Amino acid sequence: MSTPTLSSRGIAKSFTSGSIVQHVIKDSWLDIFPGELTLIVGPSGSGKSTMLSMLSGLLRPDKGRVCVLGQELWALDERRLDRFRLEHCGFVFQGFNLFGALSALENVILPLQYLGLKGGLARERAQRALDEVGLRERSHLRPAELSGGEKQRVAIARALVKQPELVFADEPTSALDKTNGQIVIDILKRIASDHGATVLGVTHDPRLLSHADRVIHLEDGLVTRDERNDAVRAAAEG
């Protein structure tokens, strides 16, 4: 087994509403590895998205440590944390989060501009990322002219264009039909295997589980099962 890209050590998160305290994540210890598609699954309210947010630097845990690429993530101040996410992480969300006034190509170029890469080189890299998700012929279109599956592929290209070591995907197929969901999960799997990236997603879609290298089951804020691909595929086929 290779060295983990991402590790959590005793992280926990609670939310308070009035006098009610909800313990969403309880004492989580995980190691996530490069070159794999890892999915966190569980029922609604199990803490999947909260877990992903803490591991990706979007939500500070109440306690515990998150180490990413050898860096103590939550020891960084806000400016350095923003920069770390920009340089090393790609994000894919359920709602696509595309800019409606920009073409697919312009949406993909955008993060490169924040990295200081502009002009022809940025355009070339963005076009290659769109090629990789099968949208070469659609790169001039705006989001309103694209299907839901195409919008999500643009979002993946936008994450991929930075050549990140880590890609985080929050319910990436929940708004898609079976065919487009299959395309998206195949792309995420390929990013892990071909690029050696660490791809970590959360989903409630059982159709995706057999495509993962590893499935982590979460219930009531605790990991209840942690299965590698052979066990997952055997269960899906059985």
**pLDDT recorded at residue 231:** 52
Residues in contact with 35: Cβ distance below 8 Å, sequence separation at least 6, in sequence order:
2, 192, 193, 196, 197, 198
Beta bridge partners of residue 16, listed in sequence order: 21
SS3 84: helix
Helix residue ranges per DSSP H, the chain:
48-55, 78-88, 104-114, 119-132, 148-160, 178-195, 229-237
pLDDT band at 232 (very low <50, low <70, confident <90, very high): very low
**Tokens standing for residue 174:** 């929940």
Closest CA to 156 of 191, 121, 200, 114: 191
In terms of Cα–Cα distance, which of 135, 117, 133 is closest to 125? Answer: 117
Dig out the tokens for 52 from the structure. 């992903």
Region class of 42: left (phi > 0), else alpha (psi between -120 and 50), else beta: left
Q: What is the pTM assigned to this prediction?
A: 0.92
Rounded Cα distance between 52 and 182, Å, is: 22
Give the domain ranges of the chain.
Answer: 32-60+75-237
For residue range 131-174, list pLDDT tens digits in order. 999 998 999 999 999 999 999 999 999 999 999 999 999 999 88
Each residue's pLDDT tens digit, 87-107: 999 999 888 889 999 999 999
Please, which pLDDT band fits residue 33 given cuts at 50, 70 and 90? very high
Distance CA 7, CA 52 (A): 12
Per-residue model confidence (pLDDT) at position 174:
86
Query: Would you place residue 234 in the very low, low, confident or very high pLDDT band (cuts 50, 70, 90)?
Result: low
Tell which CATH architecture fits domain 32-60+75-237. 3-Layer(aba) Sandwich (3.40)
17 phi/psi in degrees, rounded to 5: -130, 105
Question: Starting from the edge strand earliest in sequence, which strands make up the sheet with 63-68, in order?
Answer: 20-32, 6-17, 63-68, 71-72
Q: Which of 17-21, 173-177, 188-192 reaches the highest mean pLDDT?
A: 188-192
The separation between the first and the last C-alpha atoms of the chain, rounded to the nearest angstrom, is 27
Average pLDDT over all residues of the chain: 91
Q: In 3D, which of 190, 238, 191, 187 has the Cα closest to residue 210?
A: 238
